[in-house]
Amino acid sequence: MDGLTRRDALKAGGVLGVVGAVGSTAVARAQPWTWSPHGSVAGTGSGADPMTVWDPEADELVAGLIDRGEVPRVNELLRTWTTNGQPLPGGLPPQLRDFMEYARRLPQWTDPRQLDLAIEFNKKRGLYLGVLYGFASGMMSTVIPKEARAVYYSKGGHDLKDRISKTAKLGYDIGSANAYAPGGEMVVTCVKTRLVHAAVRHLLPQSPHWVHSAEEDIPISQNDIMVTWHSLPTTVMKHLRSWNVPIPERESTAFLHSWQVAAHLLGVRDEYIPRSWPDADAQAAQVLDPIIAATPEGAKLADRLLGLGANIDFALLSKPILGAFTRFLLGDAIADGLAIPREPVWDPLLRFSWGPFIAVREGLLTAVPPLGDPYWLLDEFLRKAALIYLAELRMPISIEIPTMNRDMSVPPR
């Protein structure tokens, strides 16, 4: 039993009575890790497979907070820490305070001019970004198997709307005019999210439900964070390119830089953060593209996500239309895997009208083609979706360290 892992012990019937169930093994990668750290912002690195790397600084710290019962008090104090330039609240455990003071620093390679230019990019492309973050990046999370299982069995899987609003806060904060400035909130959001990740790494291996479905012993490796990262900026830029949205290279580079800084603040080692879009595309081809797959947990999450707009008094945000947008952005294979029904009207409408619609919005066509009502519907959908997205984030959203996994006996909300 010397080689028995905690996961093996739980699979065998629980940890009670099991002595010496220690150790952790990483799930094997289908193909060897070949992405070179020379393509990173660091330009160098150990070359270690990120699937075998977590966040030891945060992990040991947060595990101690949970085990000592200090998290409720810490969450209470951290609710008052909301802007980047704000001092940390008094009363935090000294080790946590020291870690957060270190973790909140922008990397030395941060370029303020690039961050300013990224703000301009976000302003000009705000409507597209809102839709892509929601329906491409957001729904993609349900077909990233590890992420889907981690969300489903963690505390966030119980109240999915709350979980999604906190995740959406990342996209909202990075797109704000003062994202990394003293009055912004992006640094705070990243540091708190890093603490949450550490808590989930400590808690999920204690869930028999997660253990029986997961392929790994410890969730949220550096590889997993970068998989999710690629579902955001890399996926967004891929769609904008495919739509022929004209984007100056300097704006594209600035958008990437804002997300490079975010990855660093989330605890990703600089040797895993891509230096350029070609480097990002190459890494995504290794870590994201091959692992996309539907799971029972992901299908349930997707169904609930598409149903979140059911109570909104706006016909264009009905579940069938939201499903059609998901199918259009992620493709038939993913949509079929998530059991999203085909829509006889909206599926062909999006397929044939989206290109001309983008061309008209970008001023690439001087006259509106014969789209009529479909053109208005698409434009109205974008605007309304963005307004609802912003409205959801007007309420105070507090990212808090969890102390437990999801109670599977309680129906989700």
Same domain, 13 and 62: no
Same domain, 327 and 376: yes
Query: What domain count does the chain have?
Result: 2
Does residue 6 sit within a domain? Answer: yes
Same domain, 146 and 248: yes
Could you give phi then psi for residue 383, rounded to 5 degrees? -65, -45
Same domain, 197 and 319: yes
Could you give phi then psi for residue 40, rounded to 5 degrees? -100, 170
Does residue 42 sit within a domain? Answer: no
Determine the pLDDT at residue 383. 63
Same domain, 273 and 352: yes
Determine the pLDDT at residue 396. 64
Who has greater pLDDT, 226 or 160?
A: 226
Mean pLDDT over residues 28-46, rounded? Answer: 90
* DSSP SS3 for 405: strand
Determine the pLDDT at residue 373. 54
Who has greater pLDDT, 186 or 27?
A: 186
Whole-structure pTM value? 0.86
Q: What's the pLDDT band for 10 if we cut at 50, 70, 90? A: very low
Same domain, 148 and 187: yes
Give the pair of three-digit tokens for residue 206: 């204690």
Same domain, 231 and 380: yes
Side chain identity at residue 336, one-letter code: D
Same domain, 253 and 196: yes
Determine the pLDDT at residue 158. 53
Who has greater pLDDT, 389 or 342?
A: 342
Does residue 328 sit within a domain? Answer: yes
DSSP H helical ranges for 83-221? 94-103, 112-124, 126-131, 139-140, 145-153, 160-174, 186-203, 208-213
Determine the pLDDT at residue 388. 57
Per residue in 186-242, pLDDT (tens digit) is: 999 999 999 999 999 999 898 887 888 778 889 999 999 999 999 999 999 999 999
Q: Which domain holds residue 224?
A: 54-404
Least confident of 270-284, 315-329, 380-394: 380-394
Same domain, 239 and 315: yes
Does residue 8 sit within a domain? Answer: yes
- Residues contacting 387, CB < 8 A, separation 6+: none
Q: How many CB atoms lie within 10 A of CB 179?
A: 22
Who has greater pLDDT, 375 or 180?
A: 180
Least confident of 56-60, 164-168, 268-272: 164-168
Please, what is the average pLDDT of the chain?
Answer: 82
Written as one string, the DSSP assignment of 194-221 is: HHHHHHHHHHGGG-HHHHHH-SSSSS--
Determine the pLDDT at residue 357. 80
Per residue in 98-145, pLDDT (tens digit) is: 999 999 999 999 999 999 999 999 888 887 887 888 778 878 888 988
Same domain, 64 and 13: no
Least confident of 36-45, 101-110, 403-412: 403-412
Same domain, 11 and 117: no
Does residue 272 sit within a domain? Answer: yes
Could you give phi then psi for residue 354, rounded to 5 degrees? -65, -45
